[in-house]
Amino acid sequence: MLEPLKVLNPATEEVVATVPAADAADVDRAVTRARTAQDAWATTTPADRARLLRRFADTVDQHLEELARLEVREAGHLIGNARWEAGNVRDLLLYAAGGAERLNGAQIPAPGGWNVTFHEPLGVVGVIAPWNFPMPIAAWGFAPALAAGNAVVLKPAETTPLTALRLAELALEAGLPEGIFQVLPGHGQVAGRALVEHEGVAKIVFTGSSRTGRDVMERCAAQMKRVTLELGGKSPNVVFADADLEAAADPFAFLDNSGQDCCARTRILVQESVYEEYTARLTEAVRAVVVGDPLDEKTQMGPLISRQQLDRVRDFVPDGADAIRGSAPAGPGFWFPPTVLTGERPDSRAAVEEIFGPVAVLLPFTDEQDAVRLANATPYGLSGSIWTRDLGRALRVSGAVEAGNLSVNSHSSVRYWTPFGGYKQSGLGRELGPDALTAFTETKNVFISTESTEA
């Protein structure tokens, strides 16, 4: 008997729920059901599939407040952010439904015939989600996968299974066929691994740490299984002297979701000539951040997800380290104050490794070349921001920084209608955007001869 999953409220440490953990036999049963359901789903008309996905979106919308409050309880997210996250699931479903209606192949002429290309669904897709944005990241996988005619088995993270389970109920309520979208809470090493290794699963969409991502990719390789990996980040916030320093000193570039954001701009690189002025602005802003009850609309930052994550973050910030510090409640709950480390070397552990908490490092640079060198000096390449009023420089630096999602004079990264993914150790493949559905298909080309067969 596997240890059940104990879901704690990160703001209070109260037990919210205890959820049975799936084992390999449960995964096998779910995949078998999914395969059966997928045969019929793949042959529904685009309009029928789109209609059901839109109904699913409407059902999510009708339960938006309930889903948001569940997200607050299991993940400690701010209520306003949690509402946005549930709304994001709805919007992803609507966007994917539109895609289902336009998933057409091509006709390509050739000497002596025609080529016809088809986008065929893969079959059963396994989605393995992390705890930091449980609802949206799961939907990045399941919405386009379903729209392209696949069945989905979703394994949420150990700490955040509740919103995923509720979404599965809402899918059935909306009329999605039984077995087409299943949620299996479980331990990564057991249920996650069983899903990755199951021969009936055609593709894995994994979002999580780079370490686990590597393991998933190796196991997929054994079966040549399709895989998309969205992994860690250590993104730069590059501030040139000519930038709007007030906007560039917004601490929510690294504090959103208590810093548990793969796109968090946690390496703040500031041009020497404005380093002092920038530091003063950032200090004021960090000290003003309101940390506390996630259900209070005035709160700006909530707790970390778990004690384990709190211990990990603490380990990067030794007592006495040079830092700008905000404040946080004492507990119960997994609280850590907004923190900017100011005495780090560019190659120190805190400056290079993903911390995944409300902690950034502040580093000076001399010129554009130095900024690009520092921006690229990590194994990651997910995101980043460039702050300057010089358009030419913004474009040059955007071209030189090795990352999949950059922003100029902004720290926003993710839109469901634009592609998202990482360079280097931040991942493999892209999600979202106009190509999201074709990532869940095989492209087949059929050549049809027009040669006369008459004698």
> 426-445: which residues touch ligand NAD (CB under 6 A)?
426-427
Question: C-beta of 261: minimal distance to ligand NAD in Å?
Answer: 7
Would the CA dihedral through 314, 316, 319, 322 be positive or negative?
A: negative
Task: Indicate whether 380 belongs to the interface with ligand NAD (CB under 6 A).
Answer: no
CA distances from 41 to 51, 66, 149, 167 (A): 13, 29, 6, 19
Instruction: Give me the catalytic one of 230, 344, 354, 431.
Output: 230
Let me know the angle formed at the C-alpha of 90 by 86 and 93, rounded to the nearest 5 degrees. Answer: 135
Pairing mode, strands 15-19 and 423-424: unpaired
> 227-256: which residues touch ligand NAD (CB under 6 A)?
230-233
Let me know the angle formed at the C-alpha of 133 by 132 and 134, rounded to the nearest 5 degrees. Answer: 100
Query: Of 81, 209, 409, 410, which lies in the binding site for ligand NAD, with binding defined by CB under 6 A?
Result: 209
> 393-422: which residues touch ligand NAD (CB under 6 A)?
422
Q: Which of the ranges 40-48, 68-76, 170-178, 208-216 carries the binding residues for ligand NAD, by CB under 6 A?
A: 208-216
Nearest alpha-carbon partner for 408 in 257, 287, 237:
237
For residues 10 and 188, which CB has a smaller minimum distance to ligand NAD in the complex?
Answer: 188
Task: Indicate whether 196 belongs to the interface with ligand NAD (CB under 6 A).
Answer: yes
Task: Indicate whether 134 belongs to the interface with ligand NAD (CB under 6 A).
Answer: no
Question: C-beta of 407: minimal distance to ligand NAD in Å?
Answer: 15
Helix (H) or strand (E) segment spanning residue 5: strand 5-8
For residues 209 and 342, which CB has a smaller minimum distance to ligand NAD in the complex?
Answer: 209
For residues 237 and 388, which CB has a smaller minimum distance to ligand NAD in the complex?
Answer: 237
Buried b (16+ CB within 10 A) or exposed e, 267-303: bbbbbeebbeebbebbbebbeebebbbbeeeebbbbb
Q: Are 298 and 290 in contact (CB under 8 A)?
A: yes
Rounded Cα distance, 68 and 7, in Å: 16
Left if phi > 0, otherwise alpha if psi is -120 to 50, otherwise beta: which for 66? alpha
Task: Indicate whether 76 belongs to the interface with ligand NAD (CB under 6 A).
Answer: no
Query: Of 192, 337, 381, 384, which lies in the binding site for ligand NAD, with binding defined by CB under 6 A?
Result: 192
Nearest alpha-carbon partner for 157 in 181, 135, 188, 198:
188
Is 120 marked active-site? no
For residues 245 and 375, which CB has a smaller minimum distance to ligand NAD in the complex?
Answer: 375
Question: C-beta of 277: minimal distance to ligand NAD in Å?
Answer: 31
Query: Of 49, 54, 73, 193, which lies in the binding site for ligand NAD, with binding defined by CB under 6 A?
Result: 193
Give the tokens for residue 164: 């995923």
Rounded Cα distance, 427 and 166, in Å: 29
Number of residues that bind ligand NAD (CB under 6 A): 31
The SS3 assignment for 356 reads coil
Task: Indicate whether 56 belongs to the interface with ligand NAD (CB under 6 A).
Answer: no
Q: Which of the ranges 41-49, 96-104, 211-219, 279-287 carries the binding residues for ligand NAD, by CB under 6 A?
A: 211-219
For residues 75 and 249, which CB has a smaller minimum distance to ligand NAD in the complex?
Answer: 75
Give the tokens for residue 16: 């919210």
For residues 389 and 415, which CB has a smaller minimum distance to ligand NAD in the complex?
Answer: 415
Binding mask 86-125 for ligand NAD (x = CB under 6 A): ----------------------------------------
CB-closest chain residue to ligand NAD: 188
Question: C-beta of 120: minimal distance to ligand NAD in Å?
Answer: 26
Question: C-beta of 355: minimal distance to ligand NAD in Å?
Answer: 10
Rounded Cα distance, 354 and 242, in Å: 29
Rounded Cα distance, 237 and 355, in Å: 16
Note the residues at the interface with ligand NAD (CB under 6 A): 128-132, 137, 155, 157-158, 188-189, 192-193, 196, 207-209, 212, 215-216, 230-233, 262, 354, 356, 382, 422, 426-427
The residues annotated with a catalytic role in the active site are 230
